Amino acid sequence: MSLLTKFLSSIPAVIFLIIGIFWVLQPGIMAENFGMVLSSGLGLSSQVGDLGSYFISSALMIFYGIYKNNTHWFYPPVLIMLLTALFRTLSTVIHGAPFAVDMIGSEIIFSAILIYAIYTSKEAD
């Protein structure tokens, strides 16, 4: 994996790590940023647990793939992000939710970065 590929791949990892940490430490701010109302009780546990783990586990898989020079670790975060983009789109089509173009766009861009890393790393082999 080239230095450029490692740098580009680290961008979504750093952003996801920051978002995940903020979900744990400042869930009210993060809920507002995500267009959510901060829940209480088990709902709060679900928001912090599900969203914190979503972002931190994706970041850790990307960082590990960079560290081990193995882009196979990029596949799960790509799958998670593309499914998130798909389900956001379906929430608009099926349930009438606002179309989250900025969130979907970032998920597609971050996935594209990781797919680029996977592809260019295979070319180098």
Q: Would you give per-residue pLDDT tens digits along the chain (125 residues)? A: 899 999 999 999 999 999 999 999 999 999 999 999 999 999 999 999 999 999 999 999 999 999 999 999 999 999 999 999 999 999 999 999 999 999 999 999 999 999 999 999 976 55
Domain range for residue 94?
3-124
Residue range 40-72, pLDDT digits in tens: 999 999 999 999 999 999 999 999 999 999 999
CB of 113 within 8 A of CB of 12? yes
The total of structural domains in the chain comes to 1
DSSP 3-state of 66:
helix
Q: For residue 58, which of 13, 27, 21 has the smallest C-alpha distance? A: 13
